[in-house]
Structures are given as C-alpha cells and as structure tokens.
Amino acid sequence: MEFRTLRAFVQVVRQGGFSPAAKVVFATQSTVSKAVKQLEEEIGVPLLDRLGHRSRLTAAGEVMYPRALRILAERDDLLTEVGELRGLKRGTLKLGRSLPPIAGAMPASTSAW
C-alpha cells in the first residue's frame, strides 16, 4: 500500500469525484483513477461506486476511509517530528558534568565567594 494511492482515494472522497481530486493532488484525472484502482486491486474489493462524474463509498470504502485518514495523519506527524529533530527544534540537550558551580545557584549562607 502506498501513500500516493491512499492520498488519491482520500481526495476522491473529500472532493466527491476524480476530476476535482486530481486538481487537489496536482495530477491528471487518469492518474488519480489509476491510483484508486491500484488500491482497490490491492485490497481486493471496490472502495467506490462510480456514478457518472461522482463517486460514493462502498461498505469497504466506509471502513477504509477513516483508516486512510489516520495513516496519512500519522505519516505527516512522523515527518514533522523527524523534521524537528533534524532542524534542532526538538531533542535532548546534554551539558557537561565538569562545569564549575554558578554563584547564584548556591545558597547565600554557604557562598564560598
């Protein structure tokens, strides 16, 4: 299963048809149609009833759609998290243990200064 085919399927559902979905994913209608067909062949059941220029979810599509949304959201979250690590927006900062004590960190009554 590829993210590309899941994304095409999700957009066909969201947009209500293959042509509008193609505009959203910056592909041709034919490419989106082939991607959804590939996903259906991999799953082994039709996910959409094609009704002229519109599409409607089948029972299998009703099961697949929310899962596809979660899978794509998890992918986006993963890429964001890894990107944060790569860009040092997130991670672990380790300081050396041989740093001298800081004057303000010591209680006033035990100040050696």
Summarised one tens digit per residue, pLDDT across range 42-78 is 999 999 998 887 889 999 999 999 999 999 999 999 9
Strand partners, 50: 55
Q: Amino acid letter at 104?
A: G
77 contacts: CB under 8 Å, gap ≥ 6: none
CB 72 within 8 A of CB 3: yes
Where do the domains of the chain lie, and which CATH numbers do they carry?
Answer: 3-86 (1.10.10.10)
C-alpha distances in Å from residue 39, one per residue of 8, 22, 47, 97, 102 = 9, 16, 9, 55, 62
Q: How far apart are CA 97 and CA 101, in angstroms?
A: 10
What's the predicted TM-score (pTM) here?
0.73
pLDDT computed for residue 66 by the predictor: 98
Helix (H, G, I), strand (E, B) or coil at 49: strand
12-45 pLDDT, tens digit per residue, is 999 999 999 999 999 999 999 999 999 999 999 9
**More confidently predicted of 70 and 104:** 70
Q: What is the pLDDT of residues 1-12, one digit of tens each?
A: 899 999 999 999
